[in-house]
Structure 1
Amino acid sequence: MRTLVIGLVAAAALIGLAPAASAHAELLGTSPSNGEHLASSPSEIVLRFSEKVTPVRDGFSVLSGQGKKAVDAQGELVAGDSTRIRLPIPERLPDGVYSVTWRVVSADSHPVHGAFVFSVGTAQAAPLAGSGAEAGSDPVVGGVFWLFRLLGFGAVALLLGGVFFALVCWPAGQTDPRLRRIMKVSWWTATAATVGVLLLQGANSSGSSILSAVDPGQVLDTVGTNFGILVVLRLALLVLGAILLTRREIRPVVVTLVGLALVVTWSASGHAVAGDLVPFALAMDIAHLSAMSVWLGGLVVLVACVLWRGRKSPDTVALGRFSRVALIAVAVLAGTGVLMALREVGLAGLLSGSRYVTLVVFKAGALGLVLWLAAMSRTSVQRQLARPARKERTEAIVRLRRSVWSEAGIAVVVLGLTAALVATPPAELYSNQAEAAVVSGPFLSALALPGGDVQVWVSPASPGDNEIVVNVRDERGINRDVPEVSVTLTLPSGGIGPLPVPLSKTGRGQYVAARFTVPSRGTWRLSVRVRTTDLDATSVDADVPVS
């Protein structure tokens, strides 16, 4: 145990000195760059990311200044470089301002998206504020997807932990009917959750609705990715494991190898495969999930089978063995969790207060509480179990049941936090803009004004926080300064508004509301009032669909 602690401390020091990993892909640059002015039409658009990415089908668009599709853009990986995506431009773009929206999947299977603008010829556009990568998907799809991941985590952990408990701690209980029922329910739940994740990944990646989960094209796209291959492999391993466990003679070595392979399918599709120190991170993640499975699955079997009220006397040998195994498992769980958190956010990142760090702190606190409960209760219970008096042994068993139930409850909380950590970016992308999600896509329109126009951008045009950008331009499409610009939003069908939009001037003729909350879905009327002189003012309206 001392060697384990020394090893974990040394590894933590090394990882703490390393730069923080970014688990989601970041947009490092584009060609043309955001706001760049080109003398002539480009032949292609190239996006460069911080790690390997996978383009999403129909995840790219090039829109004109009037918000219409300029070309049929299909993103493809640059040959020999999975960190770059190119959009061929087959036909010449007329002079004007163009916006590019994109959506890709990171190496850790999470989708990211963003947008930027450029101009061609006589027109000129100001850079789009907040043009970096953002993480997000349809909120319904994201919620159901997280639920399936949670069920999958729990069922696989219960399945593997239950098998480990029967093979190592309680060999006499391998034929126990209650244990076999638990294993069957766990297997079916794990299989159903795995199928659900496979179907929902396409909708999660594309930002589409939950109805698109059964789209054959999206499912085939998912199966062709690393994530899809790992999920299909997980299904095959579950089937193989069921066959092995139904045999009369169970081979522990073979079952252990299948169990480890199941854990690998989880680890290899998450944060561990993105960023630096991938082999080390993968090993830590496998150890982390294996320890969780042993601990969580063992607790459930302990409560439901060994300490079952209908059993006259619990197997004290199994209790003693699992007590030692659980202590090691929780220690490994805590140690590897700290190491992975350090790798993801770095020492400085632990003080950032991000959502990811908050979840790590809660998880560490839950594990610390488990260690304290286990140490306090089991020491007392083991002493009383050694006494011959029947009454004292019965009281000790009752207290042990309560202690194990408390641990099991905390284990469920830890499981939920683990599933949430898997779905949370370790470093909030671009100043916590990760909560934005593209569902219907950003809104872009150019509204005519005397002597030019006003370009309006609303992203992601969905309920919640939105970025609103207003560019006042002259006849050549170049931003111009005016004395005053004001914007309001009104929902006529709902009787809401007008809501004033607080704008900040960020450049010549550009006004931005970085985080304006649109309260609900519907067709919102965006009214822009531009005062061009001390005496002249013009108001223009645009209908913005928010869904």
Structure 2
Amino acid sequence: MRKGCRQVDRDSNGRQERRRLQIPGSSAETSGAENTLTKGNGDASRHPLASVVRLAAALICLGLAMLAGGGQAFAHAALVESVPADGAVLQVRPAIVHLRFNEPVSPLVVRLIDARGGIREDLSVMMHDHSIGIAIPENLPSGSHILSYRVTSADGHPVAGSMIFSIGHISTSADKPAETSERPIHSLLWLARLVFYLGAFVGAGGALFVTWVAPSLRLLLVGRVLRGFLAAGIAAAIVSIGLQGLDALGRPFVDFPSGAVWLAGLATAFGTSAILASTAFALAFASLLARGGSRRALSLAALAGVGLAFAASGHASAATPQWLMRPVMFLHAVAVAYWVGALLPLAVVVRRFPSQAQPVIRRFSGVAVAAVAVLTATGLMLAYVQVEAPKNLFDTDYGLVLLAKLILVAALLALASVNRVLLTPGLEVSRDKSRHRLGRTIAIEIGLAALVLMVVGLWRFTPPPRALETSRAAAASPVSLHIHMPSIMAGLMVSPGHVGSSQVRIALSSPASRPLDAKGVTLILSRPADGIEPIERSARKVGGNAWQVDNLVLPLAGPWQIRLEVLISDFDKTSLEGTLVVRP
């Protein structure tokens, strides 16, 4: 056949058009057919997918602006208790400082700044369940010491803080280290996480669609685009490990090439997820290049890898009971990948293969109904575990992000229903008109799905209400203090132990821990450094060796000097002194 021969054909509206004859399956045929993706009504910029690209760029800028202008980001684990308490004044050096969190943590960096300004980092750290114990060196000088710590929680997020304890007396120069801005790292983490999501759901999910739902169609351009998403996803997973290490160690971006940073990132739970996801992306990439039955096996393995990656880390997979939450997270991620991954290939099928669009959509919908049911059920279960109470939807940053996600997902479901009930059946009656409408709605679905992924990325920086509730419960728990002298011991319990009105219960005992009866107890609190003169309250006896002070107002947080005046008999009076640390 001569290269210049032409034939007359008719388009979908019955109009004659002249085009060159092409060898079936040739690259020229493919490029000519797939160029319809950019041809709209004579202007590429008017195509719905072009609008999606512009929308995605605008949404990325919006997400970065939200992170740059937002307030402090919170980790997902919380310190429940420290022994000794923050701000405590001790007579002798504590052998070990215990830090108890609301979930298991692993230490990353522990640093002690002593009263003379010396920095000690070679501290022995022990882990046990939700607590870590930090051995304190023996040769500490008198004064105030700062113990700074940075740990990673079970969901892979770093937790940083400092506590002060004093030996003998308080040093006026002991100030906690100033917090450094982490917003640039957080912005990069969010952007890398977004590309990671696109690789997982668009790339791996799209590969499943191409190999299982539409294996007979020559979706060459789609294959190239999906391979691009998968390659970007692998790069994002690798970069995220380094960024995770920077965030975990609290290092600036200039330390990105440091080996310690990358090792710290790999040591977090996200390091495992990144390795699993990269493997899944590579399998999906291979499925788009393979031939025969291996294509399906590779894409199915890739989908399973995506589910495992999301089940391996994150605040949802770290919630209890993990034997239930991890499989739920696996199913949720797989369902999302099936649904979101189908959108881009479907848009191409509707535009390029209108005669085959309906059977392809029918095959996709047969599983999509079950996938949406799984997605909805698992999503509600995850939300119930994380949010715990309806009020937390409106009172917490996590809840507001969840509300935004629910609104967007509801819009997606509504569009999917319109496509299934109204537009897809119309392909048989008015193919060209329904094809354009269906293509537009799928393009809108792609934009909404991208927005959902951008919103979900913000969860990396918001603690779930279940973690906040633990912190609130710890803040409301009583503060205890034990004071002992050679002849008497006293245990104090201050409820709730934070600024405001509190109740103080006092239990007296002998050095042998036997109840000690007394004739009177007076409680005296003072803060000489802040110019607060002694606050004196008489305790009332409530039975046996127990005494109580009601409605004691503590106006300031931090350490208070406390003195107990105990009248043991008409001729015997003794005093006990200690430091009580009041929470904010």
Identify the match of residue 277 of structure 1 among 306, 311, 321.
321
What's the counterpart of residue 184 of structure 2? 140
Identify the match of residue 364 of structure 1 among 406, 409, 421.
406
What's the counterpart of residue 26 of structure 1? 78
Give the conservation status (yes or no) of the 8 Å contact 1:23–1:427.
no
Identify the match of residue 154 of structure 1 among 189, 193, 198.
198
- Give the direction of change, closer, same or farther, for the CA distance of 1:117–1:165 in structure 2 (3 Å limit): same
Secondary structure (helix, strand or coil) at the match of 1:102 reads strand
Identify the match of residue 180 of structure 1 among 219, 223, 230.
223
What's the counterpart of residue 537 of structure 1? none
The Cα offsets for residues 21-40 of structure 1, whole Å up to 9 and x where unpaired, read as x9822212222222222211
Identify the match of residue 419 of structure 1 among 440, 453, 457.
457
1:359-398 equivalences under 5 Å are 359-387=401-429, 392-398=430-436
- Give the direction of change, closer, same or farther, for the CA distance of 1:181–1:47 in structure 2 (3 Å limit): same
Identify the match of residue 353 of structure 1 among 371, 395, 404.
395
The Cα offsets for residues 97-146 of structure 1, whole Å up to 9 and x where unpaired, read as 22222111111111111222221124489x999x9xxx997111111011
C-alpha separation between the residues in 2 aligned to 1:120 and 1:241? 60
- Give the direction of change, closer, same or farther, for the CA distance of 1:342–1:264 in structure 2 (3 Å limit): same
C-alpha separation between the residues in 2 aligned to 1:376 and 1:333? 19
Q: Which segment drifts farther, 266-275 or 277-286?
A: 266-275
| Superposition deviation, residue 479 in structure 1 | 4.2
What's the counterpart of residue 480 of structure 2? none
Give the conservation status (yes or no) of the 8 Å contact 2:107–2:151.
yes
| Superposition deviation, residue 254 in structure 1 | 5.0
What's the counterpart of residue 247 of structure 1? 290
Residue 125 of structure 2 corresponds to residue 76 of structure 1: yes
- Give the direction of change, closer, same or farther, for the CA distance of 1:165–1:422 in structure 2 (3 Å limit): same
Secondary structure (helix, strand or coil) at the match of 2:424 reads helix
Amino acid in structure 1 at the alignment position of 2:100: R
What's the counterpart of residue 440 of structure 1? none
C-alpha separation between the residues in 2 aligned to 1:287 and 1:40? 54
- Give the direction of change, closer, same or farther, for the CA distance of 1:214–1:51 in structure 2 (3 Å limit): same
Amino acid in structure 1 at the alignment position of 2:346: L
C-alpha separation between the residues in 2 aligned to 1:420 and 1:318? 35
Higher relative contact order (CA 8 A, sep 6+): 1
| Superposition deviation, residue 508 in structure 1 | 8.2
| Superposition deviation, residue 195 in structure 1 | 1.0
C-alpha separation between the residues in 2 aligned to 1:353 and 1:408? 30
Amino acid in structure 1 at the alignment position of 2:275: V
Give the conservation status (yes or no) of the 8 Å contact 1:226–1:269.
yes
What's the counterpart of residue 274 of structure 2? 231
C-alpha separation between the residues in 1 aligned to 2:214 and 2:203? 15
What's the counterpart of residue 44 of structure 1? 96
C-alpha separation between the residues in 1 aligned to 2:441 and 2:80? 51
What's the counterpart of residue 288 of structure 1? 332
Q: Percent identity?
A: 26
Which has the greater radius of gyration? 2
C-alpha separation between the residues in 2 aligned to 1:408 and 1:312? 19
| Superposition deviation, residue 237 in structure 1 | 3.8
Secondary structure (helix, strand or coil) at the match of 2:159 reads strand
| Superposition deviation, residue 65 in structure 1 | 5.0
| Superposition deviation, residue 288 in structure 1 | 1.4
Give the conservation status (yes or no) of the 8 Å contact 1:44–1:86.
yes
- Give the direction of change, closer, same or farther, for the CA distance of 1:75–1:393 in structure 2 (3 Å limit): farther
The Cα offsets for residues 258-291 of structure 1, whole Å up to 9 and x where unpaired, read as 3212321122111133231112111121111111
What's the counterpart of residue 108 of structure 1? 155
C-alpha separation between the residues in 2 aligned to 1:364 and 1:30? 38
Secondary structure (helix, strand or coil) at the match of 2:161 reads strand
Amino acid in structure 2 at the alignment position of 1:60: V
| Superposition deviation, residue 232 in structure 1 | 2.6
Gap runs ≥5 in structure 2: 1-73, 473-525, 534-553, 561-584
Aligned length: 413
- Give the direction of change, closer, same or farther, for the CA distance of 1:343–1:410 in structure 2 (3 Å limit): same
Residue 207 of structure 2 corresponds to residue 163 of structure 1: yes
Amino acid in structure 1 at the alignment position of 2:305: A
C-alpha separation between the residues in 2 aligned to 1:182 and 1:330? 25
- Give the direction of change, closer, same or farther, for the CA distance of 1:318–1:29 in structure 2 (3 Å limit): same
| Superposition deviation, residue 253 in structure 1 | 4.1
RMSD: 3.5
C-alpha separation between the residues in 1 aligned to 2:358 and 2:555? 72
C-alpha separation between the residues in 1 aligned to 2:469 and 2:180? 14
| Superposition deviation, residue 363 in structure 1 | 1.1
| Superposition deviation, residue 72 in structure 1 | 3.4
C-alpha separation between the residues in 2 aligned to 1:508 and 1:396? 69
Give the conservation status (yes or no) of the 8 Å contact 1:327–1:371.
no
Residue 360 of structure 2 corresponds to residue 307 of structure 1: no
- Give the direction of change, closer, same or farther, for the CA distance of 1:324–1:415 in structure 2 (3 Å limit): farther
The Cα offsets for residues 174-200 of structure 1, whole Å up to 9 and x where unpaired, read as x42122212211221111111111111
Give the conservation status (yes or no) of the 8 Å contact 1:33–1:118.
yes
What's the counterpart of residue 303 of structure 2? 259
Residue 361 of structure 2 corresponds to residue 319 of structure 1: yes
| Superposition deviation, residue 54 in structure 1 | 1.7
Gap runs ≥5 in structure 1: 1-21, 435-476, 485-503, 511-547
Give the conservation status (yes or no) of the 8 Å contact 2:82–2:98.
yes
1:427-438 equivalences under 5 Å are 427=465
Amino acid in structure 2 at the alignment position of 1:155: G
| Superposition deviation, residue 208 in structure 1 | 1.6
C-alpha separation between the residues in 1 aligned to 2:362 and 2:397? 38
Amino acid in structure 1 at the alignment position of 2:201: A
C-alpha separation between the residues in 2 aligned to 1:279 and 1:430? 23
Amino acid in structure 1 at the alignment position of 2:342: G
Amino acid in structure 1 at the alignment position of 2:439: R
C-alpha separation between the residues in 2 aligned to 1:92 and 1:42? 11
Residue 257 of structure 2 corresponds to residue 214 of structure 1: yes
| Superposition deviation, residue 377 in structure 1 | 4.1
Amino acid in structure 2 at the alignment position of 1:104: V
| Superposition deviation, residue 302 in structure 1 | 0.9
Residue 155 of structure 2 corresponds to residue 89 of structure 1: no
C-alpha separation between the residues in 2 aligned to 1:377 and 1:274? 37
C-alpha separation between the residues in 2 aligned to 1:144 and 1:157? 20
C-alpha separation between the residues in 1 aligned to 2:305 and 2:528? 58
| Superposition deviation, residue 384 in structure 1 | 2.4
Normalising by structure 2, report the TM-score: 0.64
Give the conservation status (yes or no) of the 8 Å contact 1:61–1:69.
no
| Superposition deviation, residue 339 in structure 1 | 1.2
